[in-house]
Amino acid sequence: MIAADLLVAQNVGFGIISLLMIVAALRVVTVNNVVHAALWLVVVLSGAAAQYLLLSAEFV
């Protein structure tokens, strides 16, 4: 039962990070200031890194 709870928590975390990445990606293309767009891009890339770590994929 513990493994099932961990899997559910992992799916919820993945969904939250995905939602954050989608919102940040939309902000990248809709914001007028280039510096703000770059900061939102950092959020998107950090979310991608978090998803790699959440899925236990290692960086090369």
- pLDDT (0 to 100) of residue 8: 86
pLDDT band per the 50, 70, 90 thresholds, residue 60? low
Q: Note the pLDDT tens digit of each residue in 2-42.
A: 777 778 888 999 999 999 999 999 999 999 999 999 999 99
- pLDDT (0 to 100) of residue 2: 75
pTM of this prediction?
Answer: 0.83
Round to the nearest angstrom and report the end-to-end CA distance of the chain: 33
Question: Which amino acid, 20?
Answer: L
- pLDDT (0 to 100) of residue 48: 95
